[in-house]
Structure 1
Amino acid sequence: MNDDIRAGLVPKTTKSKVMLTKYLTKYRFFGIIAVFFSSMVIGMAFGSLRYVFVVFCLVIFMICTAGSPSDPRKSFGGSLLDFLRFFVRKKTYYGSGNVDCADYLKKEEDKREAKKRKKEK
């Protein structure tokens, strides 16, 4: 029986998060405190709407730090930034509507017709 278990380094993505409660990590706890105080300072410019602004900032922070539905290793905000980078980036399309594809198809058609003409001779 081979009980040789090789211990190795554990990747960061598989390490468990430090949880304070069931849904609140250490990162989110300190983030809530930082967002609360910074939004209170910025909210002074809004006067009576300061508390609405503070609640709005806290809700946005909680949404952005929640887990991503498509990639559990990323936060929702990180996945949203990845999507926006993809959306803004210049895309290269490959397919029948592309100029390079049209040139390739034309060359292939010319080769086929050249073969047909060669066979007929």
Structure 2
Amino acid sequence: DMGYDEKDILNLDVERISQIISEVMRGNLSRVHFHALGFYLLALKGDYDLESQKKALAFAALAAAQRAMDGEINLERFKYMLNISEKYDYKEWEKEGVHFILFPTKVVPSPKITVGLGDTISSLGFVLG
């Protein structure tokens, strides 16, 4: 809780969420990961390899979807996901010195597990990026 109206976040208003993140990053933050049902938003300030960041987001999103489907991260399927196509769908923009990358996530219709998926997507995106 940082004094912002939570309805903007609950409504998944990406424009307003990115504005809030820009305001928060005016301090010493150089990286913010934000995930919600249907998308993963990464905000970066400074010198980062953007292609590496995009691949990390794609991998994290696929790993979380695979975990939701199977209830665990299966090493064989995980190896398959390492081969991420160069043509993944994302949006990218810059605002107030902050670079944003928005990556859609797969919503699994009948997940076997949901607990910890946010940790899965954020930790993999952070560590691999």
TM bucket, shorter chain: under 0.3
Q: What is the TM-score of this pair, normalised by structure 1?
A: 0.26
* Bigger proportion of residues as helix: 1
Structure in which a larger fraction of residues adopt strand? 2
State which structure, 1 or 2, has the greater radius of gyration over its C-alpha atoms. 1
TM-score normalised per structure 2: 0.25
Higher relative contact order (CA 8 A, sep 6+): 2
